[in-house]
Amino acid sequence: MVISNAYRLNLDSVTGKTAIITGANSGIGLEAAKVLAQKGARVVMAVRNEEKGKAARNEILKDHKNAEIQVMKLDLADLESVRAFANDFSSQYASLDLLLNNAGVMTPPYSKTKDGFELQFGSNHLGHFALTGLLLPLLKATPNSRVVTVSSIAHRGAAILFDNLDASKGYRAMKFYGQSKLANLLFAKELDKRLKEHGIQTISLACHPGVSATNLFKFGRSETPRLLKGVMNHFLQPAEMGALPTLYAATEPSLTGGEYIGPNSPGRFRGYPALETPHFVANDEATMKKLWELSEKLTGVEFDFTR
């Protein structure tokens, strides 16, 4: 898969490696799963809907019959499910090379996770925070492992509403989506900082897909409306292009951790992967630390950075 005339994705590096992709049954997650499975990675599709996950697995196997793909249940809006997934995975696998924190929900009507958190913050951020912490022992035990967390251009100008995380003082869907995507980026950066401070080889990176035609735009429906899909497919880049920053972050050997990858066009809405500078709101170290400590408290998951 060509990135530019100068270089290609380093996909041969994933052969024989184990990767978890959350939300791998559709959109960017599915496209990343296709590529990694095709290149010989063992792919675990961590999905809320196992039926859709199995259908996606079968779709991949039609073209790549020898692909190693497993579907496992994971509901990021339920911390009990997150713990069950981590325990199940850890009982089956002795290593974890790539954790792709990809799944997300965008602008639903106000609702809560099973644990009582606002849905977007609870699933997009807290669910992935807990999952990463629970899988950290395997990541630490795997040389050159990576965590890639998918953020969004919606983080630009967003804020962590520490005095209204539960939306009890008011809810605006897009504002809370931006908050969750800023939290993803702050988490990825703080995680990499702490890994380096403890001399752990695992690196953490963030990326975003630009604006891609995926089911994130279903606006609380079970699927994206057909008319909207047609408009999206005309103006937005396809999901396979949107997956490139994720794949680049997962495989590019020159990355050392802490980087943010996005499309290279003006505005960063579409194009091929390139290093990007996050909005300044994502560089506040005090906010990173406060969010980390609060996330540990809310999820009950503390990261063990001992070697």
> Hey, what's the torsion of the CAs at 66, 55, 63, 96, to 10 degrees?
-50
The 8-class DSSP code of residue 20 comes to E
CB 292 within 8 A of CB 190: yes
Is 26:216 a contact under the CB 8 Å cutoff? no
Whole-number Cα distances in Å, 195 to 93, 107, 126, 152, 255: 22, 32, 19, 23, 15
Active site (catalytic) residues: 171
Dist. CA 175–CA 178, nearest whole Å? 5
Three-state DSSP class for 225? coil
Q: Which run of H or of E encompasses 56?
A: helix 50-63
Place of tokens 């988490």: 187
